[in-house]
């Protein structure tokens, strides 16, 4: 889900593709420690209950309200090796390789080329005819048949979900422990920050990663992984966030999935070795793009999104984005629905 830069200031979230590199977070990110301390709530970790260990599919999820106390064990889902995960996705000699670097360094067994082209469309139906190496699409709103159709055209698929916020419309909303639900996200009805210290939350994310693997996603784009900089309602430290983000990376790689770091600029240098690519929103607006360059230096792509007047951004943003080695797109509006202009070739995607 993309964050509205006008409504949330520096806190832009969706996922998307734009090579630039900026961290999301409300405009008043600085000095939030005192605010978070005042607004903090108890950790609220509950007692685990047993959950199924098989990989879930869409039929496992319902849209009822979250349970008050139930927490499933963190280790309910075990690691899978990259070969098994690749076989489960049905990848074969016809699978896309234009966007893949042969020098693999992640648990997924491959990595995206630093110059890969991207298409991001978080609203179904997805236009599968766009010419791009990598598609970033919503995990829940797209079926396996959509992902197969994208693969058939020679593209990789990254599946978006929020790892740091609760969305009451998602089919697995009932699996979230009430104790982990924090303050509302400003401007996003039905969405609340999550307490990433709550151990039961990890089981929910493991199941989402299982679903991504089952559907055939090549990687994932977990959003809102910088909650420690936000007024979440919890006292979340930088160390808590690092631990949670590394958990997401380990679990993704254990399932043969690539994983991107969304925004979270303050922790890029600590996490560049754990993640396979970066996704950033509005780093040019906040003069923060240089903080994403460790990914480019590590030969990992930076997918960057810049909002604003397209004609102006083409003159001011695109030359610098290309110099930095980012793949940047200019949606114009504050959402990612498949309409944007690419800096790389000036092409308008509709």
**Across the strands, what pairs with 337?**
121
Q: How far is it, in rounded angstroms, from Cα 216 to Cα 123?
A: 18
Confidence of residue 339 (pLDDT cuts 50, 70, 90): confident
What pLDDT score does 61 carry?
52
Nearest to 330 by CA among 140, 317, 84, 266: 317
pLDDT tens for 192-238 read: 999 999 999 999 999 999 999 999 999 999 999 999 999 999 999 99
What pLDDT score does 190 carry?
97
Across the chain, mean pLDDT equals 78
- Averaging pLDDT over each range in 22-31, 108-117, 243-252, which range is the top one? 243-252
Quote the DSSP letter at residue 233. Answer: S
What pLDDT score does 74 carry?
32
Confidence of residue 350 (pLDDT cuts 50, 70, 90): confident
What pLDDT score does 180 carry?
98
**43 pLDDT above the threshold of 80:** no
Among the residue ranges 66-70, 193-197, 228-232, 258-262, the one predicted with the least confidence is 66-70
Average pLDDT value for residue range 291-309: 95
What pLDDT score does 333 carry?
66
What pLDDT score does 9 carry?
36
**106 pLDDT above the threshold of 70:** no
For residue 305, give every residue at least 6 positions away whose Cβ sits within 8 Å of its Cβ, in sequence order, or none.
Answer: 2, 12, 14, 16, 17, 18, 20, 120, 279, 280, 281, 282, 328, 329, 330, 331, 336, 340
- Averaging pLDDT over each range in 11-20, 57-66, 84-93, 242-251, which range is the top one? 242-251
**86 pLDDT above the threshold of 90:** no
Domains parsed from the chain with CATH numbers: 18-47+63-204+213-349 (3.20.20)
pLDDT tens for 145-185 read: 999 999 999 999 999 999 999 999 999 999 999 999 999 99
**98 pLDDT above the threshold of 50:** no
**20 pLDDT above the threshold of 90:** no
Report cis status (omega within 30 of 0) of the bond before 125: yes
What pLDDT score does 349 carry?
83
Angle of helix 144-152 relative to helix 199-215, nearest 10 degrees, comes to 50
What pLDDT score does 347 carry?
87
What pLDDT score does 24 carry?
38
Average pLDDT value for residue range 54-65: 47
């Amino acid at each position: 889900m993309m964050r509205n830069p006008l409504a949330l200031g520096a806190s832009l979230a969706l996922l998307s593709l734009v090579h630039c590199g900026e961290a999301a977070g409300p405009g008043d990110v600085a000095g939030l420690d005192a605010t978070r301390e005042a607004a903090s709530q108890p950790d609220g970790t509950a007692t685990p209950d047993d959950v199924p260990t098989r990989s879930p599919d869409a039929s496992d999820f319902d849209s009822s309200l979250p349970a008050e106390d139930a927490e499933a064990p963190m280790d309910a889902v075990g690691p899978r090796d990259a070969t098994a995960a690749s076989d489960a996705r049905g990848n074969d000699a016809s699978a896309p390789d234009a966007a893949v670097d042969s020098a693999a360094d992640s648990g997924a067994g491959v990595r995206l080329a630093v110059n890969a082209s991207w298409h991001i469309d978080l609203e179904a139906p997805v236009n599968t005819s766009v010419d791009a190496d990598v598609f970033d699409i919503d995990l829940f709103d797209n079926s396996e048949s959509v992902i197969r159709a994208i693969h058939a055209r020679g593209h990789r698929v990254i599946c978006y979900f929020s790892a740091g916020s609760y969305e009451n419309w998602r089919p697995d909303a009932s699996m979230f422990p009430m104790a982990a639900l924090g303050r509302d996200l400003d401007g996003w009805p039905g969405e609340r920050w999550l307490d990433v210290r709550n151990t039961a939350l990890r089981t929910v994310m493991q199941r989402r990663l299982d679903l991504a693997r089952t559907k055939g996603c090549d990687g994932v784009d977990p959003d809102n992984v910088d909650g420690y900089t936000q007024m979440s309602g919890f006292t979340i430290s930088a160390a808590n966030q690092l631990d949670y983000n590394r958990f997401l990376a380990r679990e993704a790689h254990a399932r043969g999935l690539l994983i991107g770091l969304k925004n979270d600029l303050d922790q890029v240098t600590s996490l560049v070795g754990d993640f396979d690519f970066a996704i950033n929103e509005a780093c040019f607006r906040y003069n923060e793009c240089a903080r994403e360059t460790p990914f480019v230096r590590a030969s990992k792509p930076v997918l960057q999104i810049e909002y604003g007047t397209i004609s102006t951004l083409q003159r001011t943003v695109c030359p610098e984005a290309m110099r930095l080695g980012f793949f940047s797109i200019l949606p114009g509006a504050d959402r990612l629905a498949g309409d944007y202009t690419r800096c790389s070739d000036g092409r308008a995607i509709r």
